[in-house]
Each structure stands twice: as C-alpha cells, then as structure tokens.
Chain A
Amino acid sequence: MRLETRKLLDKAFSGLGLISIAVMAIALLLILTPIVWRGSKAFIFKGTIEHRRVMLELFDRGNPEKFNQESADAAAARAPVYQMMEAFEAEMKAMDRKKRKEYKAPFREVENALEELLGPMPGQRTPVLLRQRYGQTRWDRALVKLHETLYSEEWDYSNADAMGVLVEKPRVDFFTGTELEPLFQYLEDYLPEMMQPKTTFYYQFITDKSKDSHIFGGIWPEVLGTIYLTIGAMIFAIPMGVIAAIYLCEYAKEGRIISFIRICISTLAGVPSIVFGLFGLAFFLNTIQVSDSKSVLAGSLTLSLLILPTIIRSSEEAILAVPRAYKEASLGLGASRWHTVLTVILPAAMPGILTGIVISMGRAAGETAPIIFTAAVSVGAPLKIWETLSQPTPALPWNIYNLCTEHEAVDEIRHVQYGMVFTLVAIVLLLNLAAILMRARISKKLRG
C-alpha cells in the first residue's frame, strides 16, 4: 500500500473515532439534560403557600408563626374572590328560574376550578381525600389551573370532514354584566398575593413519605425499597458469585462439565430479566414460599440470580488476570491452596471483582422486571429492616413506570415522576463513581 493511502486511511479512521465519540457525547447530553433539568424541579421550585401548608400540617415542618402571617395575607387577598362569588350566588337567587338554570352549570365549573386552585372554600367541611384539602402547591401548576379557571375549553366540530378544533373561550364573556365579572380580572392580577410563591428547596423530597399516593410529599419508601433490594441482592449474590468464581478458576479441573457450567453461566447472563421475574414468582413465592406475600426478600433473591452471572464472570476474569508467579511463589513457600487464595489471589484480584460487583449493583438498583411480581407495590410504607423478610415495598424503577402509566392523576404529578427518575439515575451514577474510586484506591494500595 502506498504511504499516502495509508496516511489517508489512518486519518479517516481517527476522524470516524472522533465522530462516534461526539455522537455518543451528544446522545448522553440529550438523555441526561432533561432528566437533570426536569428532575431538579422536584427539588427546587416555586412553592406556594399551599406547599408550606402541606409541610406544616402533614410533616410538621416550618415556622408556624411565619406561616400564619403569610396565610393571613393570602386569605386577605382571597377574600374578595369569595365575596364576589357570594354576591353572584345572591344575584343568581334573585334571577328567574330559566336564567338561573343557565348560569348554574358554568358557575359550578368556576367553583370547581377555583377549589382546585386555592383549596377548599372557607367554611366548607374538610374533605376526606387529602388531595382535596389543599390548593396547588407549585406555582407552575397554579398557573395551569388559573388558565383553566379563566378559559373554558370547547371543541368546534363545525367542519364535518375533519377532527374538531380546540377553542378556548374566556369564561368572563359568559358572566359579563353579573357580579362575577370582575372575578376573572382579579384572579389574573392578584394570583401571586393569593398563592405567595417563593422559591423552595425541597430537599426532603427524598426523605419524606408520600401522602395520598404521591400527590404530596416525597419518595422515601421508594428510595429505601431500592436500597433494601440492592443490598439484599448483594448479600446473596456476592458470596455465591465470588466463591463460584474461585472454584471455577482455582479448584475445578478443566473438562467437559466445567465448560458446560461456563456455557450455562453465559446463557444465564443473556436471559431477559422478565424471565427471572416470572421464575422468582413461580419458585420463591409460589413453590418454596419464602414469604406469605411479595417481599423484599423474594425480590432480592430474584435480583441476585439476575446479577450472579455478571459477578461470576467478572470475578473469574479478575482472578485469571492475577500473575501466575504470585500463586506459584505462595505455594512454593509452603502455603496451602486455601491460604494462597485467601491471602494472595483474592487481594490481587480485588479491584476487578469490586468493579464487577458495583456495576451489577447499579443494574440491580435499576431493574424493573424481576421485582414486578416478587417485591414491588405501588403504595406502601417505608419498611423497617426486619420487615423486609415478609413485606413488599415500593421501589424506584417500578414506581416510575407505575406513575407514568397507571396513576389516576398522572398529569398533576409529573414532577414526582421526573424526581424519581433523577434520583434513580443519581443513585446508579453514584454507585458507578464509587466503583471507579474504590478501584483506583485499591490498585494504588496494591502497587504500594
């Protein structure tokens, strides 16, 4: 090959490499930016007076005196709203029957929208459902609800050949000339006074229990559940995996059976996770019944099976990478095989083994399919450590899925969903970071 051609090929190759790295970096940015950006909104947002009311009443947090002051200010700003509504109700009573009927339903709609925005009206009985006891806790949601109060949505179906078109009608037009007319302008002008928005750093989002299935509060049961499941999986998988790897490398005689076992392990690593989930249900729960219901224990066992192959393979690689001379020197000094493994081979292989372990920890934390049938529930309290043996738990991966597909009020609580995604990704990244640091430290120590 001519020299120029070679140079050209060389350049083309490095160019290709650069491009693929750039594409990867962009992809990573595209994935991570929205996660971080939207996820951070679960923690840092403009909280309204209702948020502080929730904090004070449900979580016993905040300064009651300051809150009462703010609450009085908000109530003062809200008072004209309720006065206008009362005045309109009085006006309605004076109307003739037909006209009253005409106004009744639209007025009811305004009332409902206002209740969603501001919470129950003064003098109203406390609703049983928590979600109805408070107004909008977040300023962004409050603006959405304000819009819903100001405009009614109607669909224009006049073109019979096409789908309808959304028409937003200002509600004020309907109520022009009545006592309710000034209400809409007032709402638009005085919403900040009524809601008292303040930039809030709600770091307790991670450590608070959820209230009324995630409509208020945080995600502690999910975080704790994820931690339990991951640690549980490690407790089962690490000893089994490392011992199996030692056996395969140091004790077993190469032969058909061993290579068959290796093939089995590789196959196990490729089995889809939902199969592990179903196996866990069929075996751990229905056959040997490790617990009466789904439980963290059953979930951990299932997850440990899932990550076992990774741990065995990475430990095996690490053990095989230990120079033969180490082992021979140890054996030559008269150390027993067991002693050699324990004091020479394992410490030397430790960085590799640890990397494998931490990477599979990240996998265990993020897996959904194996825990659907064995451990995960959509609502539950944070468990105490001994309760993990018999009780199921919410867990981040499953609850993210549950919130976005099954929750009845999903559009209201998108921020919780993003907050969960952010937290899960952060946990996995932190675990991986820990792996890198640990590996670096141990390698340094070994090199002396």
Chain B
Amino acid sequence: MKKQILTATAALALAGAAHASETIVIDGSTTVGPIAKAFAEYYMAANPEVNITVSESGSGNGAKAMVNGTCDVAIMSRPMKDSEFKAAADHGAQPVAHVVALDGLPILVHPSNPVQDLTVEQIRKIFLGEISNWSQVGGPNKEIVTISRDTNSGTYETFAGLVMNKEKIGEKCEYVGSNGAIRQRVQTTPAAIGYAGLGFVDKTVKALKVNGIYPSPETVQTGEYPIARPLFMYTNGYPKLGSSLYQFMTIHLTEDGQEMVEEIGFVPVTAY
C-alpha cells in the first residue's frame, strides 16, 4: 500500500513537472501593491494557467529581491538608486523601469483636525520637530504626533526628497511599515500627521491642501500638487515580446488597466 502511494506521488510530481504552470513573482512597494494585485487578478482571470503572486514588503525589499533574482517584477514607489543598479549589474540583472501610474503624496490628518492647508515648509518643520504643536499652524493646542514610513519605503524616500530636502526627520517621529498602517495610526490618533499614497485616502482620514493645492488626480497629473511621483514596476531586462510577463507589464497601457489604476485611486500614466 505504502509503495503504491509513493509511486503515485512520484508519478504525480513528474507529470506536474512536465507541464509546470507559469509564474510571475511580484515583490515590493505597499503603495503599488493594490495596483499589482488588481492587475494580477485581472490577468489570472483571463489566463488561469499563470500564477501571479504579490508580496508587499516595501520598495527597498523589492529592489533587493530584483538584485537577488528572487522576483520577476519589483514594484517600487521610487526610482532605483545608483547603488541598487550597481548591485543588480554585479548580479547580472538589468533592471528596466516601467512607469505604471502617477501618485501624489497626500498629507493625512485626522478628520477632526481643523487645519486644512499647510505649506511644504510647514510640513518640513513639523517633521523636523521645529513645529510641535497644532496651534503653531492654526489648529487647536495639541501636540503634533508625526508618523512616517520606515526607511525601506519608497514613499519615505519620496517624502524625504520632496519635503524634507534630505534633512533628517525629528527623533520623536513614529515609523510604521506600510501605507495601511499609516492610515490606521492617523485615523485613531486625533493629533497625528502622516503621509501615504493617493489610493489610501478614504473618509476616515483627511488629506490636507499643500501650498493651497488639494491632492487629486487632476492636480497630480498637471504637476500642480507639489508632492507627486511616478510609480514603477521594474523587470529584469525588457520582457520577451509576447510572453506572459510582457502581457502583464503592458496592462497599464490598456484601457482596462487605466480604469483599474484610476478606480483604485491613482493616476493613470496616459490619463485624460
């Protein structure tokens, strides 16, 4: 009996190896995650023989996975750094960037917070710790709780570049590991301020105007909203034409793909 089971298993394994299904492994940014998940669902519905897995572990991890060759697509909310390109080249990988969507970085506060509008300078000072009370920017007398993404995050890098001018965020800042976690901290902390991707704004948090401009698909698209950035998917080399990976990597160019990007809350690259 045991022998029979063993042979059966072996036969099954061999048969499986003969037509092993195709896989696309995606790793990286928690901002781009919802887009990648929606694309995966969309692609797998039409091509059930392809298994697409998505993990959301941060842009930095996406880049590392690409360098180590443990993913097919690295989703990143920032461009790859020189050091990452170099590491990739040393490992024989050639990362190619595909911009799949545009994203603003809304500054989030609790909806009960009366403050509506901040300048980039004020935000920078808040995160530096120089402004530490909401009353200094026209709010009630409450100490500000700053919440930032961890340094592995592409969203953090964008924020550090566009708002902080590479200055170090103050010591009191709280660091959390994902966009969702930022939203959760802000929606439960009345005095909090944080930042996340456009797709993560819902009615439980309030996005502030920055320099008088409200973060919306239109203002991001026109470049009026000051804290905006493209979202990337990196592949190792340009995908072979006609391959599943190629089809997957061109979804964002199709009308369906753009509708998905838009409905999730981001800005399609060829919008309007």
In the complex, the answer to whether A127 meets B140 with C-beta atoms within 8 Å is no
Residue A157 lies at the interface, judged by CB distance under 8 Å to chain B: yes
In the complex, the answer to whether B54 meets A385 with C-beta atoms within 8 Å is no
Please indicate the chain B residues that have their CB under 8 angstroms from the CB of A163 in the complex: 110, 112-114, 140, 142, 190-191
Q: A293 vs B141: C-alpha distance in the bound complex, in angstroms?
A: 51
In the complex, the answer to whether B55 meets A155 with C-beta atoms within 8 Å is no
Residue A410 lies at the interface, judged by CB distance under 8 Å to chain B: yes
From B16, B37, B112, B260, A384 is in contact (CB under 8 Å) with B16
In the complex, the answer to whether A392 meets B114 with C-beta atoms within 8 Å is no
In the complex, the answer to whether A385 meets B52 with C-beta atoms within 8 Å is no
> Distance in Å from the Cβ of A239 to the closest Cβ of chain B?
16
Q: A407 vs B183: C-alpha distance in the bound complex, in angstroms?
A: 11
Which of A326-334, A370-378, A430-438 contacts its partner? Answer: A370-378
Please indicate the chain B residues that have their CB under 8 angstroms from the CB of A383 in the complex: 51
In the complex, the answer to whether B42 meets A161 with C-beta atoms within 8 Å is no
Of all chain B residues, the one with the shortest Cβ separation from A379 is B54
Residue B259 lies at the interface, judged by CB distance under 8 Å to chain A: yes
Please indicate the chain B residues that have their CB under 8 angstroms from the CB of A90 in the complex: none
Residue B250 lies at the interface, judged by CB distance under 8 Å to chain A: no
Q: Mark A68-100, 1 if CB is under 8 A from B, else 0.
A: 000000000000000000000000000000000
Of all chain B residues, the one with the shortest Cβ separation from A158 is B114
In the complex, the answer to whether A390 meets B37 with C-beta atoms within 8 Å is no
Residue B41 lies at the interface, judged by CB distance under 8 Å to chain A: yes
From A127, A161, A406, B141 is in contact (CB under 8 Å) with A161
> Distance in Å from the Cβ of B265 to the closest Cβ of chain A?
8
Please indicate the chain A residues that have their CB under 8 angstroms from the CB of B56 in the complex: 378, 402, 406
> Distance in Å from the Cβ of A177 to the closest Cβ of chain B?
27
In the complex, the answer to whether A378 meets B13 with C-beta atoms within 8 Å is no
From B40, B69, B180, A406 is in contact (CB under 8 Å) with B180
In the complex, the answer to whether A380 meets B54 with C-beta atoms within 8 Å is yes
Q: A400 vs B159: C-alpha distance in the bound complex, in angstroms?
A: 29
Q: Mark B125-164, 1 if CB is under 8 A from A, else 0.
A: 0000000000000001110000000000000000000000
Interchain pairs with CB closer than 8 A, number: 146
Residue B59 lies at the interface, judged by CB distance under 8 Å to chain A: no
Please indicate the chain B residues that have their CB under 8 angstroms from the CB of A385 in the complex: 9, 12-13, 16
In the complex, the answer to whether B70 meets A294 with C-beta atoms within 8 Å is yes
For the complex, would chain A's binding face be called helix, strand, loop or mixed by DSSP majority?
loop
Residue B244 lies at the interface, judged by CB distance under 8 Å to chain A: no
Residue B106 lies at the interface, judged by CB distance under 8 Å to chain A: no
Of all chain B residues, the one with the shortest Cβ separation from A164 is B112
Q: A385 vs B263: C-alpha distance in the bound complex, in angstroms?
A: 36
Q: A285 vs B184: C-alpha distance in the bound complex, in angstroms?
A: 33
> Distance in Å from the Cβ of B52 to the closest Cβ of chain A?
7
From A130, A386, A390, B23 is in contact (CB under 8 Å) with A390
Q: Known interface pairs A132-B263, A378-B55, A391-B51. Does A407 touch B114 (Cβ–Cβ under 8 Å)?
A: no
For the complex, would chain B's binding face be called helix, strand, loop or mixed by DSSP majority?
mixed
In the complex, the answer to whether B53 meets A128 with C-beta atoms within 8 Å is no
Q: Known interface pairs A129-B38, A285-B68, A392-B53. Does A405 touch B178 (Cβ–Cβ under 8 Å)?
A: yes
Residue A343 lies at the interface, judged by CB distance under 8 Å to chain B: no
Complex interface residues of chain A between 184 and 238 (CB less than 8 A to chain B):
211-213
From A212, A386, A392, A410, B17 is in contact (CB under 8 Å) with A386
Residue A3 lies at the interface, judged by CB distance under 8 Å to chain B: no
Q: A325 vs B267: C-alpha distance in the bound complex, in angstroms?
A: 77
> Distance in Å from the Cβ of A400 to the closest Cβ of chain B?
13
In the complex, the answer to whether B184 meets A405 with C-beta atoms within 8 Å is yes
Q: A292 vs B236: C-alpha distance in the bound complex, in angstroms?
A: 14
Of all chain A residues, the one with the shortest Cβ separation from B202 is A411
From B55, B256, B260, B265, A294 is in contact (CB under 8 Å) with B55
Q: A315 vs B121: C-alpha distance in the bound complex, in angstroms?
A: 64
Of all chain A residues, the one with the shortest Cβ separation from B178 is A406
In the complex, the answer to whether A129 meets B264 with C-beta atoms within 8 Å is yes
Q: Known interface pairs A163-B112, A166-B112, A292-B70. Does A127 touch B259 (Cβ–Cβ under 8 Å)?
A: yes
> Distance in Å from the Cβ of A105 to the closest Cβ of chain B?
13
In the complex, the answer to whether B53 meets A380 with C-beta atoms within 8 Å is yes
Of all chain B residues, the one with the shortest Cβ separation from A282 is B68
> Distance in Å from the Cβ of A197 to the closest Cβ of chain B?
25
> Distance in Å from the Cβ of A134 to the closest Cβ of chain B?
14
> Distance in Å from the Cβ of B20 to the closest Cβ of chain A?
7
Q: A155 vs B139: C-alpha distance in the bound complex, in angstroms?
A: 14
Residue B204 lies at the interface, judged by CB distance under 8 Å to chain A: yes
Residue B33 lies at the interface, judged by CB distance under 8 Å to chain A: yes
Please indicate the chain B residues that have their CB under 8 angstroms from the CB of A392 in the complex: 25, 53, 55
Q: A127 vs B178: C-alpha distance in the bound complex, in angstroms?
A: 28
In the complex, the answer to whether A406 meets B41 with C-beta atoms within 8 Å is no
Of all chain B residues, the one with the shortest Cβ separation from A291 is B70
Residue B221 lies at the interface, judged by CB distance under 8 Å to chain A: no
Please indicate the chain B residues that have their CB under 8 angstroms from the CB of A162 in the complex: 140
> Distance in Å from the Cβ of B64 to the closest Cβ of chain A?
9
Of all chain B residues, the one with the shortest Cβ separation from A148 is B203
Q: Mark A398-412, 1 if CB is under 8 A from B, else 0.
A: 000010011110110
Q: A39 vs B265: C-alpha distance in the bound complex, in angstroms?
A: 30
Complex interface residues of chain A between 150 and 198 (CB less than 8 A to chain B):
153, 155, 157, 160-166
Complex interface residues of chain B between 245 and 272 (CB less than 8 A to chain A):
256, 259-260, 263-265
Please indicate the chain B residues that have their CB under 8 angstroms from the CB of A376 in the complex: 55
Query: B residues within 8 Å of A by Cβ?
Result: 9, 12-13, 16-17, 20-21, 23, 25, 27, 30, 33-34, 37-38, 40-42, 44, 51-57, 65, 68-72, 110-114, 140-142, 177-181, 184, 190-191, 199-200, 202-204, 256, 259-260, 263-265
List, sorted by A's number, 22 A–B pairs whose CB atoms are closer than 8 Å: A129-B259, A130-B41, A132-B263, A163-B113, A163-B142, A164-B113, A165-B112, A212-B41, A213-B41, A293-B65, A294-B70, A373-B57, A377-B53, A377-B54, A378-B37, A379-B40, A380-B52, A380-B54, A385-B9, A392-B53, A405-B181, A406-B30
Query: A residues within 8 Å of B by Cβ?
Result: 127-130, 132, 153, 155, 157, 160-166, 211-213, 285-286, 292-294, 372-373, 376-381, 383-387, 390-394, 402, 405-408, 410-411
Extra A-B contacts (16), CB below 8 Å, given A294-B55, A377-B55, A406-B178: A153-B111, A160-B140, A212-B38, A213-B37, A293-B53, A294-B25, A372-B57, A381-B52, A385-B13, A386-B20, A387-B23, A391-B23, A391-B51, A392-B53, A408-B179, A410-B180
